[in-house]
């Protein structure tokens, strides 16, 4: 028997063993529970415009800490059996919690507004890419399952201390990041998209926004804290009781939130936040970020809640940047006041807006002040 034939037989045997190992890995309880959660999440359908994760694949990555062991992928698609693939190389994520794969060409110049976005995209091992391309897919979110919080340093310790449910975190990320990938990023990078997103949307300096518009002075910080308290109190009144008196109390607090926010905007009126399109006011910067990040955050919470995988009374009350929270809770309240169908219609209007003057806060303030 030739050396070449022996090598080929060994390669075939190793490949078959790796494939068997991966089929076993992808029946682990954490993986099957996560895939069941994806199925339940996809079954909810659209809560924001026409987007639903049911339209898109999610790649589950099982990557052992031991680098000598075979990493594996399972490609999930709604109402189809997962496709399990043994990988010949390890996976590099966009962050410790997720990755985004997008092989479509970038057709616009990369600059301050979109180069960082392009830099978050990652390649997958060739076996996973080949399988996705064979399915007709060119973009996918990929996630580590199981997710071991103890491997994430101080961040993981914080999550452990909060006693978070790891599956819920991963499901939120699947919806949130998939929306970025399939709705927003194609517009920012000049790629084909099936969903509407404003072409004029350009992200401001989010760190400067958080520092200067929320904490520029002690008075601004106190005003912002009070503002968020009023917003969350409005939601609590709505969600904890169906009574008309609770609705009235919620609307009163929501109107107070609107007044408090407008007062804060007057306090920071002279501040300008840098953006690729030029300096913008705190109001403009915050409104943009409530749309860019608050909407996907709310979408994930609302979808998981509808699937019975989260509790709407406890979801979304803290975040590293406050526009996640303020965007989320304005949308929670709007959906409760308007109903799901009207909320979807409103979200379509927002994503088709001709300019940034009629986004989440403008719609929210109009609704609560007219009731």
- 16 vs 317, residue with greater confidence: 317
CB neighbours (10 Å) of residue 329? 26
Structure tokens at 264: 């804060």
Looking at the fold, whether 225 and 363 belong to one and the same domain comes out as yes
Looking at the fold, whether 210 and 162 belong to one and the same domain comes out as no
pLDDT at 3: 45
- Contact, 193 vs 49, CB < 8 A? no
CB neighbours (10 Å) of residue 299? 26
Average pLDDT along the chain: 91
- Contact, 282 vs 268, CB < 8 A? yes
* Containing structural domain, residue 168: 9-188
Looking at the fold, whether 222 and 106 belong to one and the same domain comes out as no
Looking at the fold, whether 69 and 160 belong to one and the same domain comes out as yes
Listed residues 188, 220, 248: the one ending a domain = 188
| Within-domain flag for 52 | yes
| Within-domain flag for 4 | no
Looking at the fold, whether 222 and 294 belong to one and the same domain comes out as yes
- 356 vs 135, residue with greater confidence: 135
Contacts of 300 (CB under 8 A, 6+ apart): 171, 172, 173, 175, 176, 179
How confident is residue 14, by pLDDT bands cut at 50, 70 and 90? Answer: very low
pLDDT at 7: 41
How confident is residue 1, by pLDDT bands cut at 50, 70 and 90? Answer: low
| Within-domain flag for 1 | no
Q: What are phi and psi of 145, to 5 degrees?
A: -135, 120
Contacts of 274 (CB under 8 A, 6+ apart): 204, 205, 208
Looking at the fold, whether 78 and 153 belong to one and the same domain comes out as yes
61, 62, 65, 153 from 160: Cα distances, Å = 21, 21, 19, 11
Looking at the fold, whether 308 and 272 belong to one and the same domain comes out as yes
How confident is residue 4, by pLDDT bands cut at 50, 70 and 90? Answer: low
Tell me which H or E stretch contains 330.
helix 322-338
| Within-domain flag for 50 | yes
The share of the chain scoring above pLDDT 90, in percent, equals: 77
Looking at the fold, whether 110 and 141 belong to one and the same domain comes out as yes
| Within-domain flag for 81 | yes
pLDDT at 2: 57
Looking at the fold, whether 151 and 24 belong to one and the same domain comes out as yes
- 306 vs 146, residue with greater confidence: 306
Angle between helix 322-338 and helix 282-289 axes, rounded to 10 deg: 70
Pairing of strands 139-144, 72-77: unpaired
Q: Per the structure, how many domains does the chain have?
A: 2
| Within-domain flag for 139 | yes
| Within-domain flag for 258 | yes
How confident is residue 9, by pLDDT bands cut at 50, 70 and 90? Answer: very low
Across 64-73, 136-145, 317-326, 352-361, which has the greatest mean pLDDT?
136-145
How confident is residue 339, by pLDDT bands cut at 50, 70 and 90? Answer: very high
pLDDT at 246: 82
Listed residues 133, 157, 188: the one ending a domain = 188
Residues 327-332, mean pLDDT to the nearest whole number: 96
CA distance 77 to 91: 20
Listed residues 188, 214, 243: the one ending a domain = 188
| Sign of the alpha-carbon torsion through 346, 350, 353, 358 | positive
Residues 129-154, mean pLDDT to the nearest whole number: 93
pLDDT at 11: 39
Pairing of strands 72-77, 58-62: antiparallel
- Contact, 370 vs 250, CB < 8 A? no
pLDDT at 8: 36
Looking at the fold, whether 241 and 357 belong to one and the same domain comes out as yes
Predicted TM-score (pTM) of the model is 0.91
| Within-domain flag for 285 | yes
Looking at the fold, whether 232 and 364 belong to one and the same domain comes out as yes
- For every residue of 23-41, DSSP letters joined together read HHHTTSHHHHHHHHHHHHH
How confident is residue 5, by pLDDT bands cut at 50, 70 and 90? Answer: very low
Among residues 238, 256, 168, 196, the alpha carbon closest in space to that of 51 is found at 196
Residues 296-305, mean pLDDT to the nearest whole number: 96
Adjacent-strand bridge partners of 72: 62, 86
How confident is residue 148, by pLDDT bands cut at 50, 70 and 90? Answer: confident
15 pLDDT more than 90: no
Looking at the fold, whether 177 and 219 belong to one and the same domain comes out as no
How confident is residue 233, by pLDDT bands cut at 50, 70 and 90? Answer: very high
């Amino acid at each position: 028997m030739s050396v070449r034939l022996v090598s080929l037989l060994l390669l075939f045997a190793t490949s078959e063993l790796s494939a068997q190992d991966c089929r076993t890995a992808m029946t682990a309880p954490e993986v099957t529970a996560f895939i069941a959660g994806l199925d339940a999440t996809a079954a909810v359908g659209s809560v924001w415009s026409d987007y639903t994760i049911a339209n898109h694949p999610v790649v589950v990555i099982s990557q052992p800490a031991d680098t000598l062991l075979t990493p594996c992928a399972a490609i999930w698609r709604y109402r189809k059996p997962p496709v399990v693939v043994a990988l010949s190389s390890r996976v590099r994520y966009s962050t410790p919690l997720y990755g985004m794969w997008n092989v479509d060409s970038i057709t616009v110049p990369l600059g301050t507004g979109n180069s960082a976005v392009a830099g978050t995209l990652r390649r997958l091992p060739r076996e996973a890419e080949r399988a996705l391309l064979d399915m007709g897919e060119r973009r996918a979110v990929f996630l580590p399952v199981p997710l071991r919080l103890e491997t994430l340093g101080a961040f993981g310790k914080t999550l452990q201390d909060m006693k978070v449910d790891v599956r819920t975190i991963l499901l939120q990320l699947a919806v949130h990041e998939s929306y970025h990938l399939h709705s927003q990023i194609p517009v920012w990078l000049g790629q084909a998209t099936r969903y509407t997103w404003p072409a004029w949307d350009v992200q401001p300096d989010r760190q400067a926004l958080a520092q200067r518009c929320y904490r520029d002075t002690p008075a601004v910080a106190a005003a912002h804290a009070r503002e968020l308290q009023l917003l969350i109190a409005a939601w609590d009144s709505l969600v904890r009781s169906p009574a008309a008196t609770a609705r009235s109390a919620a609307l009163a607090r929501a109107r107070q939130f609107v007044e408090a926010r407008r007062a804060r905007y007057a306090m920071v009126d002279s501040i300008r936040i840098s953006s690729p399109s030029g300096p913008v006011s705190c109001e403009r910067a915050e409104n943009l970020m409530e749309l860019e990040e608050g909407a996907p955050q709310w979408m994930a919470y609302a979808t998981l809640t509808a699937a019975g995988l989260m509790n709407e009374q406890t979801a979304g009350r803290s975040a590293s940047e406050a526009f996640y929270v303020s965007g989320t809770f304005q949308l929670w309240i709007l959906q409760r006041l308007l109903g799901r169908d009207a909320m979807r219609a409103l979200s379509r209007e927002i994503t088709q807006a001709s300019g940034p003057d009629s986004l989440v806060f403008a719609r929210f303030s109009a609704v609560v002040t007219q009731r």
